[in-house]
């Protein structure tokens, strides 16, 4: 029947659904791991002076300028099952990144780190240090100052960082494919699935469908982050 045909045509296929859910899962895990790391590094770079600060800053920014395939290669030789750190992790904790969705998460974490740290660092730098001083004179310990003043006021930067890191993770391709390969249902996110279709003659239509899915989730995440950050800014009394 005509209606059945149309309905199934508009629905996501199992294959597409798997790739979409995997993409979302990998990006979400990457963001969760990035959050504490990004907040700590962003705060340290904004507020602390120490020897080797510019080296740390450069290291964090490296993934922004290196070709993703280089990052994938570096991850493979360091974090792979036989890699320097990877073999040690496997022996002691039984954790393996090779050919697993966890490896895809790690690749996303590394490539998104500079975006997250940068956004948070700028936000911390924009906080008036005088507010923290005022909190101290009111008897707040450094921990209380951080959690009640610094962190809440950094929130707009954290949201921007989360949005950028999430979007970057959804689009991650080069580092993932060279580190954990292109395995359906394990490491095959939407960009990798699209690459597979493009490589297969006669599957242009399937690639186009994935393209539309990509655009839709990208737009949704942009709109969500815009909405959240507007609410937060209003709550913080920052007009923007």
Partner 1 sequence: MNQGVKVTFQKHLENVEMNVDFIAPSHGITAIFGRSGAGKTSIVNAVSGLLSPDTGKIVVNGRTVFDSTQGTNIAVEKRNLGYVFQEPRLFPHYTVQGNLNYGVREKDDEYFNSIVELLSLEPLLSRYPKGLSGGEKQRVAIGRALLSKPDLLLMDEPLASLDLPRKREVMPFLEMLSKKVKIPILYVSHSLSEILRLADHLIVIDQGKVVSDGKIEDVWSSKVMRPWQSFSEQSTLFSATVSKHNLEYGLTQLQFVEGLTFWVQQVDAEVGSTVRLQIRANDVSIALDKNEKSSIRNILPARIAGIEYQHYGDNKKSVSVKLDLNQGCYLWATITKWALDDLKLEEGMQVFAQIKGVSVSQRDIAIANL
| Residue 141 makes contact with partner 1 by CB under 8 A | yes
Of 48 and 130, nearer to partner 1 (C-beta) is: 130
Please name the helix (run of DSSP H) or strand (run of DSSP E) that holds residue 218, with its range, or none: helix 204-236
| Residue 147 makes contact with partner 1 by CB under 8 A | no
How far apart CA 188 and CA 163 sit, in angstroms, is 22
How far apart CA 178 and CA 75 sit, in angstroms, is 9
Question: According to CB under 8 A, which one of 117, 149, 206, 210 is a site residue for partner 1?
Answer: 149
| Residue 133 makes contact with partner 1 by CB under 8 A | yes
DSSP 64-95: HHS-HHHHHHHHHHHHSTTSHHHHHHHHHH--
State the Cα torsion 55-34-158-149 to the nearest 10°: -80
Token pair listed for 189 = 């996110």
Of 131 and 223, nearer to partner 1 (C-beta) is: 131
Token pair listed for 80 = 């792979």
| Residue 236 makes contact with partner 1 by CB under 8 A | yes
**12-51 residues near partner 1, rule: CB under 8 A:** none
Question: According to CB under 8 A, which one of 138, 202, 212, 240 is a site residue for partner 1?
Answer: 138
| Residue 136 makes contact with partner 1 by CB under 8 A | yes
Size of residue set near partner 1 by CB under 8 A: 22
Binding mask 196-235 for partner 1 (x = CB under 8 A): ---------------------------------------x
């Amino acid at each position: 029947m005509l209606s059945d045909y149309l309905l199934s045509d508009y629905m996501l296929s199992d294959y597409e659904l798997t790739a979409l859910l995997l993409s979302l899962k990998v990006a979400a895990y990457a963001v969760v791991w990035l959050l504490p790391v990004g907040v700590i590094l962003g705060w340290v770079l904004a507020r602390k002076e120490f020897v080797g600060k510019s080296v740390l800053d450069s290291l964090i920014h490296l993934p922004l300028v290196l070709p993703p395939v280089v990052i994938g290669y570096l991850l493979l030789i360091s974090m792979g099952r036989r890699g320097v750190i990877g073999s040690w992790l496997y022996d002691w904790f039984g954790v393996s990144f090779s050919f697993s969705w966890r490896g895809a998460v790690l690749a996303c974490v590394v490539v998104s780190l500079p975006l997250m740290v940068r956004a948070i660092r700028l936000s911390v730098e924009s906080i008036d240090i005088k507010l923290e001083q005022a909190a101290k004179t009111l008897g707040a310990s450094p921990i209380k100052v951080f959690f009640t003043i610094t962190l809440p006021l950094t929130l707009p930067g954290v949201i921007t960082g989360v949005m950028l890191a999430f979007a970057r993770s959804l689009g991650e391709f080069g580092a993932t494919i060279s580190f954990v390969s292109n395995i359906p249902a394990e490491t095959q996110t939407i960009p990798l699935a699209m690459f597979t279709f493009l490589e297969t003659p006669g599957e242009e239509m399937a690639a186009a469908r994935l393209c539309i899915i990509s655009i839709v989730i990208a737009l949704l995440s942009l709109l969500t982050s815009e909405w959240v950050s507007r609410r937060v800014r209003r709550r913080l009394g920052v007009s923007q």
